[in-house]
Amino acid sequence: MLNNQSQFSQPLKVLHTSDWHLGRRLYGRARYEEFSKFLAWLLETIIRENIDVLIVAGDIFDTMTPSNQAQTLYFEFLGKVSKSCCQHVVIVAGNHDSPSFLDAPKQVLKFLDVHVIGTACDNPSDEVITLWASDGAPQAIIAAVPYLRDRDVRQNRTGQSFDEKDANVIAGICQHYDLVAAEAKYQQSQLKQDFSAHVPIIATGHLFAAGGSTTEDDGVRNLYVGNLGKISADMFDDCFDYVALGHLHVPQLVGGRDHIRYSGSPIAMGFGEARQRKRLILVEFGQDGLTMTPIFVPRFQKLAQIRGDLTQIRAEIADFAAQNEPIWLEVVYSGDALVSDLREQVTQMIQGTTCEVLKIKNPKSYHYALKQDYEFETLQDLDESEVFERCLEAHQITGDQKIELRSAYDNLMALMTEQDRFAD
């Protein structure tokens, strides 16, 4: 896709990625081998495509307290990429990341031309980074905005309605981006005077755009209580030549704008993403304008979701077994008959194959179990919200009280995900 609105005096190749979620598990299964293979492939891609700038738009890690193995993958990759053709790496925090953990080594990483913004800055100029080429010419201005936490954007007032809180959050996000855009435009005008060059402005963000697509089990959270803080493409200033977004795992445009994009996650985060073709976005600035090209990511661990009755499940498992390559499966039984020994039957089906079943869902059995105090259901089958709903049912909570308790629960969950254990 081509955008001829701007003429850029210096060619520049930027690779946009996000949502690595290093350390993430799938139904308890560690995935470090996958992450390691992805990062090795990413380094090869950077070298093959002669990338100048790598942008990681948040959720580098899956939790605020990443494991030693996840940290090792991160720092080893940064060390290797700093020795490659890539002149700069720009990293902003996502909602899964600890801002203070990412920020802690930022001064050291600067010497490797790795620029990290973990915490939203009080001074907008601190989020505006000018990238310089080795010959001293300006390459790009990065409006490096991280995930804006609730405390960064909301001014709480007592007695506010839900809609007023929603408007307050959106206004706070817009104001933050407006201040950063103003600083970026000022720096661009200064560079125009000093170098007679039009330097592109690239913005980052980790947020939930209105109308964005998600999948059932991708782990994407509402960033604020309820559905607050969903923004539109109109929020971004026209000065941004490209907006590199993170948070949503499905690659997509925002508001139909070619230059405002989610790259999506490079690895399927759940079986609902198994059929997605994962990608990164190669963004090229040149004298002919702006072009964006997808670079498709190989599958480093094959996943598949099987859904149907016993006959369909057996047939699909046989098909995957015939391919004779390792595959992780999620089996969802959707037949009419009640099958109480589904797990045993599926285990028998995969014996002697390269198939491994990580999850079996049997809704028929669950519905029967509801009358038996959930006899056949395990805690692994539920997420935290479903456990809370079970508690409401068990205590026969209904009406307004149920709504109030849900709201209080959502608030508590939001506060828990905001806590940064690495902060002082």
Q: What is the pLDDT of residues 325-340, one digit of tens each?
A: 999 999 999 988 888 8
pLDDT at 367 over 60: no
* pLDDT at residue 422 in the model: 66
Q: Can you tell me the distance from the alpha carbon of 200 to that of 400, in angstroms, rounded to the nearest whole number? A: 52
Do residues 346 and 360 make contact, with C-beta atoms less than 8 angstroms apart?
yes
Q: What is the pLDDT of residues 314-326, one digit of tens each?
A: 999 999 999 999 9
pLDDT at 205 over 70: yes
* pLDDT at residue 388 in the model: 79
168-173, Cβ contacts within 8 angstroms, sequence gap of 24 or more: 169/224, 169/228, 169/229, 170/228, 170/229, 170/230, 170/231, 170/235, 172/148, 173/148, 173/207, 173/229, 173/231, 173/235
Q: Can you tell me the distance from the alpha carbon of 323 to that of 178, in angstroms, rounded to the nearest whole number? A: 53
Q: For 84-93, 139-148, 204-213, which range has the lowest pLDDT when averaged over its residues?
A: 204-213
Confidence of residue 15 (pLDDT cuts 50, 70, 90): very high
Confidence of residue 140 (pLDDT cuts 50, 70, 90): very high
% of the chain residues with pLDDT over 90: 65
* pLDDT at residue 159 in the model: 62
Largest CA distance in the chain: 76
Q: Which residues pair with 330 in a beta bridge?
A: 305, 359
pLDDT at 149 over 50: yes
Name the pTM for this structure. Answer: 0.85
Q: Can you tell me the distance from the alpha carbon of 97 to that of 392, in angstroms, rounded to the nearest whole number? A: 31
Do residues 80 and 115 make contact, with C-beta atoms less than 8 angstroms apart?
no
Tokens for 266?
């490079």
More confident residue, 384 or 174: 174
Average pLDDT, integer, range 373-384: 55
pLDDT at 72 over 80: yes
Q: Can you tell me the distance from the alpha carbon of 76 to that of 56, in angstroms, rounded to the nearest whole number? A: 16
Confidence of residue 423 (pLDDT cuts 50, 70, 90): low
Domain residue spans of the chain: 2-296, 302-418
Q: Can you tell me the distance from the alpha carbon of 111 to that of 89, in angstroms, rounded to the nearest whole number? A: 11
pLDDT at 399 over 80: no
Average pLDDT, integer, range 51-78: 97
- Containing H/E element for 13? strand 12-17
Q: Can you tell me the distance from the alpha carbon of 182 to that of 125, in angstroms, rounded to the nearest whole number? A: 9
pLDDT at 1 over 50: no
The residues, ordered by sequence, that sit 6+ positions from 283 with a Cβ below 8 Å of its Cβ are 13, 14, 15, 16, 202, 242, 244, 290, 291, 292
* pLDDT at residue 217 in the model: 61
Confidence of residue 157 (pLDDT cuts 50, 70, 90): low
Average pLDDT, integer, range 51-80: 97
CATH number of 302-418, picked from 2.30.110.10, 2.40.50.140, 3.40.50.450, 3.30.160.720: 3.30.160.720
Q: What is the pLDDT of residues 234-281, one digit of tens each?
A: 999 999 999 999 999 999 999 999 999 999 999 999 998 998 999 999
| Spatial CA neighbour of 3 closest among 378, 290, 229 | 290
The count of residues in the chain is 424
CATH code reported for the domain at 2-296: 3.60.21.10
Confidence of residue 379 (pLDDT cuts 50, 70, 90): low
* pLDDT at residue 164 in the model: 74
For 363, counting Cβ atoms within 10 Å of its Cβ (0-12 exposed, 13-18 middle, 19+ buried), the class is exposed
* pLDDT at residue 225 in the model: 42
At 309 the three-state DSSP class reads coil
Do residues 249 and 264 make contact, with C-beta atoms less than 8 angstroms apart?
yes
Q: What is the pLDDT of residues 158-188, one digit of tens each?
A: 666 667 777 788 888 999 999 999 999 999 9
Confidence of residue 370 (pLDDT cuts 50, 70, 90): very low
Indicate if the alpha-carbon torsion angle 64, 70, 76, 81 is positive or negative. negative
The count of other CB atoms within 10 Å of the CB of residue 372 is 10
Do residues 26 and 72 make contact, with C-beta atoms less than 8 angstroms apart?
no
Q: What is the pLDDT of residues 88-126, one digit of tens each?
A: 999 999 999 999 999 999 999 999 999 999 999 999 899
Beta-strand (E) ranges in 81-164?
A: 88-92, 114-117, 128-132, 138-143
DSSP state of 69: H
* pLDDT at residue 412 in the model: 67
* pLDDT at residue 372 in the model: 47
* pLDDT at residue 226 in the model: 42
pLDDT at 215 over 80: no
More confident residue, 73 or 197: 73
% of the chain residues with pLDDT over 70: 82
Task: Tell me the CA end-to-end span of the chain in Å, nearest whole number.
Answer: 46
pLDDT, the chain, mean:
86
Q: Which residues pair with 329 in a beta bridge?
A: 304, 357
Q: Can you tell me the distance from the alpha carbon of 22 to that of 63, in angstroms, rounded to the nearest whole number? A: 8
* pLDDT at residue 2 in the model: 42
